[in-house]
């Protein structure tokens, strides 16, 4: 029985059965071994598009070796021997019998372009999966000195991968995939998040003027629904130029149904009236920072789940990835607005001192004594 390299040894996540793309790779390589001239019809495919080291080595050898004469190739195996010897420099387990397996696994050499599109589609899936996993890991790494900047840089890399792949696959109508979005990941420390949200509510209650300067913070940035509702209630009072204090906020919260879930009014008053709450902007940036990292993780998990769904087409994958990244870009814009230094006030125009207009020289009237003389 011919030896076939394990298709899962490095890239197929240890599955016990080959994925369909493995057979598409075999068919593509078999077509190129049978008719090397088909290589000219494959634009844009690179060795890293193949899922195993053996297939990458064979494709590299086929691409780098000069194509044989068609008549001579039909009579001898000289070119096939060269391909095998070249590929064995990178993968020792390759054998001549596996090349015959590849040739036998190709139904139609003239369908090489179709096989190549299948290989490219699966490579796109693996590429986005790897970048999404990197984004999720970066967003969870709180040991980084600047977690938000690191997460946004990883998101930029993922966006570049999506844009590059979008230029590879033909655009066309694509419906949204059936894969449901994953649940948002839990906060790193829910109790710490709750304390920061309560500190912000107390700070803006004591200093409601700051609310108008914090339009970059929304209720969606809060982890706890009650705190999100209290932020909306306090913001509504401040923007109506109404009185803002713990009692008026409690009254507004009642009208918004925030007390219908059994919230203790006295405890709410204690939260809003806590002394020494600190700077509202500081607490607001803390909440927005947490929201940005949580959103980055959610987007990464959403894209990763799409790549794990075999029913998702490349067009659906790219469309959904762009939509998910657009949500992250929206909170990125608010983060830049919150953390960018305030623009300096315009400097007054320099004015030169007023000088008298030039005119004819003034004549001094003679004194009476001179006239009498």
Selection from 193, 241, 48 nearest residue 126 by Cα: 48
Selection from 128, 129, 150 nearest residue 139 by Cα: 150
Selection from 20, 25, 26, 28 nearest residue 112 by Cα: 28
Whole-number Cα distances in Å, 307 to 9, 153, 179 = 20, 21, 10
Report how far residue 115's alpha carbon sits from residue 26's, in angstroms, rounded to the nearest whole number. 9
Name every residue whose Cβ is closer than 8 Å to that of residue 228 and which is 6 or more positions away in sequence: 219, 220, 221, 222
Q: How confident is the model at residue 12 (pLDDT cuts 50, 70, 90)?
A: very low
Q: Computed from CA positions of residues 234, 236, 238, 241, in that sequence, does the dihedral angle turn out positive or negative?
A: negative
Question: If you average pLDDT over every residue of the chain, what do you get?
Answer: 86
For residue 10, what pLDDT is reported? 52
Concatenate the DSSP letters of all residues of 53-68 into one string: HHHHHHHHHHHHSPPP
Report how far residue 180's alpha carbon sits from residue 360's, in angstroms, rounded to the nearest whole number. 89
CB 197 within 8 Å of CB 152: no
Report how far residue 8's alpha carbon sits from residue 237's, in angstroms, rounded to the nearest whole number. 61
Q: What is the CA radius of gyration of the chain?
A: 35
Q: pLDDT tens digits, residue range 291-329?
A: 999 999 999 999 999 999 998 999 999 999 999 999 999
Question: Helices 20-34 & 112-140, crossing angle to 10 degrees?
Answer: 140
For residue 353, what pLDDT is reported? 53
Report how far residue 119's alpha carbon sits from residue 115's, in angstroms, rounded to the nearest whole number. 6
Selection from 215, 175, 179 nearest residue 311 by Cα: 179
Q: The tokens of 357 are what?
A: 């207009």
Q: How confident is the model at residue 263 (pLDDT cuts 50, 70, 90)?
A: confident
> Regarding predicted confidence, which is higher, 331 or 356?
331
Predicted TM-score (pTM) of this structure: 0.80
For residue 280, what pLDDT is reported? 95
Whole-number Cα distances in Å, 93 to 6, 54, 96, 291 = 10, 8, 10, 49
CB 281 within 8 Å of CB 262: no
Residue 227's H or E segment, with its range, is helix 225-239
Report how far residue 163's alpha carbon sits from residue 141's, in angstroms, rounded to the nearest whole number. 26
CB 319 within 8 Å of CB 174: yes
State yes or no: pLDDT of 5 exceeds 80. Answer: no
> What is the separation of C-alpha 81 from the centre of its chain, rounded to a whole number of angstroms?
46
Q: What percent of the chain has pLDDT over 90?
A: 69
Report how far residue 198's alpha carbon sits from residue 125's, in angstroms, rounded to the nearest whole number. 42
Report how far residue 315's alpha carbon sits from residue 132's, in angstroms, rounded to the nearest whole number. 17
Report how far residue 261's alpha carbon sits from residue 268's, in angstroms, rounded to the nearest whole number. 13
State yes or no: pLDDT of 168 exceeds 90. Answer: no
State yes or no: pLDDT of 270 exceeds 60. Answer: yes
Report how far residue 155's alpha carbon sits from residue 162's, in angstroms, rounded to the nearest whole number. 11
């Amino acid at each position: 029985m011919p030896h076939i390299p394990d298709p899962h040894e490095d890239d197929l996540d240890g599955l016990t059965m080959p994925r369909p793309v493995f057979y598409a790779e075999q068919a593509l390589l078999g077509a190129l071994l049978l008719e090397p001239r088909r290589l000219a019809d494959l634009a844009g495919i690179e060795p890293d598009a193949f899922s195993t080291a053996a297939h990458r080595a064979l494709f590299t050898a086929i691409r780098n070796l000069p194509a044989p004469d068609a008549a001579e190739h039909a009579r001898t195996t000289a070119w096939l021997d060269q391909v095998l010897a070249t590929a064995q420099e990178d993968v020792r387990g390759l054998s001549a019998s596996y090349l015959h397996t590849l040739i036998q696994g190709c139904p139609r050499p003239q369908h090489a372009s179709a096989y190549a599109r299948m290989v490219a589609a699966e490579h796109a899936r693996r590429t986005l999966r790897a970048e999404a996993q990197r984004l999720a890991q970066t967003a969870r790494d709180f040991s980084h000195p600047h977690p938000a900047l690191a997460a946004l840089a990883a998101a930029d890399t993922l966006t570049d991968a999506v844009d590059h792949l979008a230029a590879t696959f033909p655009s066309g109508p694509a419906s949204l995939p059936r894969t449901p979005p994953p649940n948002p990941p839990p906060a790193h420390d829910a109790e710490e998040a709750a304390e920061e949200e309560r500190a912000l509510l107390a700070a803006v209650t004591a200093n409601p003027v700051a609310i108008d300067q914090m339009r970059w913070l929304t209720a969606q940035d809060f982890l706890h629904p009650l705190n999100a509702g209290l932020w909306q209630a306090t913001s509504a009072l401040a923007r109506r130029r109404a009185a803002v204090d713990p009692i008026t906020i409690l009254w507004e919260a009642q009208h918004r149904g925030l007390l219908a879930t059994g919230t203790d009014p006295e405890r709410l008053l204690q939260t809003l009236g806590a002394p020494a709450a600190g700077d509202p902007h500081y607490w607001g940036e803390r909440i927005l920072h947490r929201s940005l990292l949580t959103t980055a993780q959610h987007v990464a998990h959403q894209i990763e789940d799409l790549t794990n769904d075999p029913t998702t087409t490349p067009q659906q994958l790219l469309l959904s990835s762009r939509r998910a990244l657009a949500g992250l870009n929206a909170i990125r814009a608010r983060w830049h607005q919150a953390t960018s230094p305030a623009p300096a006030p315009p400097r007054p125009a320099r004015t030169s001192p007023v000088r008298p207009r030039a005119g004819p020289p003034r004549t001094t009237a003679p004194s009476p004594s001179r006239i009498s003389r």
